[in-house]
Amino acid sequence: MSGTLKGILINTSGVVQGVGFRYFVQRTACRYGLVGYVKNLPDSSVETYAEGEESTLKAFLDDVRIGPSYAHVSAVRVDWIGYKGKFKDFRIEL
């Protein structure tokens, strides 16, 4: 990696649970070579934390804003965070 390493915390709401959203996020993150996690939250939103190059994270965020075909993303909250380096892969957390 040659770019600036960052972390991004994304909270996605709308119709994002029970429609394959977490699997979509995991596949997309792996395609971009990102590490981190995605998990459902009790308020029916989905939390995603990813780390990688800033430019790659921006492209990933664009895809997350759209989501899979059965999802309907109505709101996305984004917090840029310093790189932690504690993840080795991208996983779905329960």
Dihedrals φ, ψ of 20, to 5°?
80, 15
Dihedrals φ, ψ of 74, to 5°?
-105, -25
The answer to whether residue 40 is catalytic is: yes
Residue 89 gets which letter from DSSP?
S
Q: By C-alpha distance, which of 86, 71, 89, 93 is closest to 30?
A: 89
Task: Give me the catalytic one of 11, 27, 40, 91.
Answer: 40
Task: Give me the catalytic one of 11, 22, 27, 65.
Answer: 22
The answer to whether residue 11 is catalytic is: no
Distance CA 50, CA 54 (A): 10
Catalytic residues: 22, 40
